[in-house]
Structure 1
Amino acid sequence: MNIAFSPCPNDTFVFHAWTHGLIPGAPELNVTYADIDITNNWAAKSEGPEVMKISYAALPWLLSDYKLLPCGGALGRGCGPLVLTGSSRGETSNPSSLAGKRVAVPSERSTAYLLFRLWAARNVPGGIGEIVVMPFHEIMPAVRDGHIDAGLVIHEARFTYPSYGLSMLIDLGSWWESDTGLPIPLGAIIAKRSLDTAAIAGWIRASVDYAWTHPEASQSYIMTHAQELSPDVAEAHIDLYVNAFTADLGEDGYAAITALLGRAAEEGLVPGFDLSLLR
């Protein structure tokens, strides 16, 4: 079976057991490690592998071909994307400073982007000037070096941005949680509807359970794919993004996804779709 997910520690932690043949009855995996912006576009064109990690924000484009699985993804609290600016520019606490400015984002089909646009619509008079899409690992250097006015960052950037001399303008996760009371829907696991999606979800849950039961087993695999991170940062990344929602979305998880995509559709940020397809 073909699968694509990112080389980030949370994904390699979750899928370590399955990729290493440790889940009884699960098929062998052919893994492609890809940035989420790549998988988002693969899925939208129906060109991707049978199972993929994508952003929840990409779901409206692909639910006719792929089914959202109830496990393996990333939702949570206190783990949202950040908007960063250069600390020397006097922009560290005033959202209106982004009016007319250039802001780098990791993808236009990402939860981070939807949260940013929903927040900016309420807090940036006159609107953002230009959205520039770039790989997430290039965003902080671009802000630091003055090529971009602000950057929307995800993943381990939550822990490393001070080392670039940057300041946080807004934690969009905290804003979302305060506004809705719901967790933040970040990364989803999807599978082709033509497959036995219930079986695939079972294998993923078994891989998650194995990871939690044997956390030391995946360390070498994780660090091989996250060589730019220290072991402490990788561990913090896993602790933040792998949680109860990874094992099962539950009612709060589905409510969060519905709220995010429903609001985004109302704002014209994603195409309208049948929300019942989320289950």
Structure 2
Amino acid sequence: MKLTLGISPCPNDTFIFDAMINNKIDTEGISFELVINDVEKLNTLAFRHALDITKLSYYSYVYVTNQYVLLDAGSALGKNCGPLFVTKPEKQKSDFEGRVIAIPGKYTTANFLLSMAFPRITNKVEMLFSEIENAIVHGTVDAGVIIHENRFTYQGKGLVKIMDLGEYWETQTRLPIPLGGIAIKRNIPAEIAQKVNRIVRKSVEYALAHPAASREFVRCYAQEMNEIVRNQHIQLYVNNYSVNLGDIGKQAVTTLFAWAQRNKLIHKINENLFLPLVESLEPPA
């Protein structure tokens, strides 16, 4: 059986999925047709129900809960790893209402958090996440929300932090920040969905046990990033929540959705958000 799989080119995704894509683990008779795109593009593909399995922003998932269910493995959650709202030093104390603010996509968790922390900011421009720093530096926009590896590079470009939006979330909730998750179509048979979750988990575990094994695959999709930044990226976004959401991870995700509902950004969503796990994570003998 072949399933389409959408992931981003970011090091945490290529690190996590390398083993299952490149046949380093048993994929239990399932093969994967890989689709690599920026996360906001993956969000829009999910809105079209175009992929069997996909990485997507947790905030975007609220719009496809009837079509997709969340896997327990493969997520990006954590602490001290959220989006940053940044600008030039001379604008750090500005009132940003009415200013032009770059965001990495309307349906990203980053934009959701900006809306929660700065509800009066409405003049937003969507950009590819990797272009936001330079847009601020060149004055195309007044400020922007950066994600992924740009946490490690913005200071080197002379930019300063207005707010750590992940820290804002953690202060408000005392929970890890839910950034991105892995979802599978609900119309895929339950047995296959369980297999996929098991495969993703084993792929994460393999990557963590053999970090050098994915180096070339990660580098292939992050050639403009030096190895130090690639490794920092992986260490920041791949953790125990990537192996298994657990109760705290699931609480973080449902809290994000509750925030969105309370602020009337979304209406009622499907109650069964997470793939029910079978007792054993091992394939049947």
TM-score (norm 1): 0.93
Determine which of 133, 140, 152 is the counterpart of 1:147.
140
Determine which of 22, 36, 40 is the counterpart of 1:37.
40
Which amino acid is 1:52 matched to? T
> SS at the partner of 2:160?
strand
Separation (CA, whole Å) in 2 of partners of 1:129 and 1:241: 29
Match of 2:281 in 1: none
Encode CA deviations 1:168-204: one digit per residue, 9 max, x unaligned.
Answer: 1000111111111000000110011122211110000
Match of 2:168 in 1: 175
The 8 Å contact of residues 18 and 26 in structure 1, kept in 2 or not, is answered as: no
Separation (CA, whole Å) in 2 of partners of 1:101 and 1:270: 26
Q: What is the percentage of aligned positions where both structures have the same residue?
A: 37
Which amino acid is 2:16 matched to? V
Encode CA deviations 1:233-259: one digit per residue, 9 max, x unaligned.
Answer: 000000000000000111111111111
Match of 2:220 in 1: 224
Match of 1:165 in 2: 158
Q: How does 1:40-51 map to 2 (within 5 A)?
A: 40-46=43-49, 48-51=50-53
Matched, 1:184 2:187: no
Which amino acid is 1:40 matched to? N
Separation (CA, whole Å) in 1 of partners of 2:232 and 2:29: 29
> SS at the partner of 1:132?
strand
Separation (CA, whole Å) in 1 of partners of 2:64 and 2:45: 10
The 8 Å contact of residues 82 and 154 in structure 1, kept in 2 or not, is answered as: yes
1:129 to partner: Cα distance: 4.2
Match of 2:110 in 1: 112
1:221 to partner: Cα distance: 0.8
Matched, 1:61 2:57: no
Separation (CA, whole Å) in 1 of partners of 2:16 and 2:274: 22
1:276 to partner: Cα distance: 3.8
The 8 Å contact of residues 61 and 271 in structure 1, kept in 2 or not, is answered as: no
1:154 to partner: Cα distance: 0.3
Q: How does 1:224-263 map to 2 (within 5 A)?
A: 224-263=220-259
Which amino acid is 1:211 matched to? A
Separation (CA, whole Å) in 2 of partners of 1:270 and 1:110: 14
Separation (CA, whole Å) in 1 of partners of 2:197 and 2:154: 35
Separation (CA, whole Å) in 2 of partners of 1:158 and 1:255: 25
The 8 Å contact of residues 66 and 270 in structure 2, kept in 1 or not, is answered as: no
Match of 1:28 in 2: 31
Determine which of 97, 100, 110 is the counterpart of 2:98.
100
Match of 1:124 in 2: none
The 8 Å contact of residues 71 and 247 in structure 1, kept in 2 or not, is answered as: yes
- Given the superposition, is the C-alpha separation of residues 129 and 213 from structure 1 closer, same or farther in structure 2, using an over 3 Å criterion? closer
1:143 to partner: Cα distance: 0.6
Encode CA deviations 1:25-83: one digit per residue, 9 max, x unaligned.
Answer: 2522211110111110111122x221100000111111111111011010000100000
> SS at the partner of 2:153?
helix
The 8 Å contact of residues 67 and 197 in structure 1, kept in 2 or not, is answered as: no
The 8 Å contact of residues 114 and 269 in structure 1, kept in 2 or not, is answered as: no
The unaligned stretches of length 5 or more in structure 1 are 122-126
Determine which of 17, 20, 23 is the counterpart of 2:19.
17
Separation (CA, whole Å) in 1 of partners of 2:59 and 2:122: 22
Separation (CA, whole Å) in 2 of partners of 1:220 and 1:260: 35
How many aligned positions are there? 269
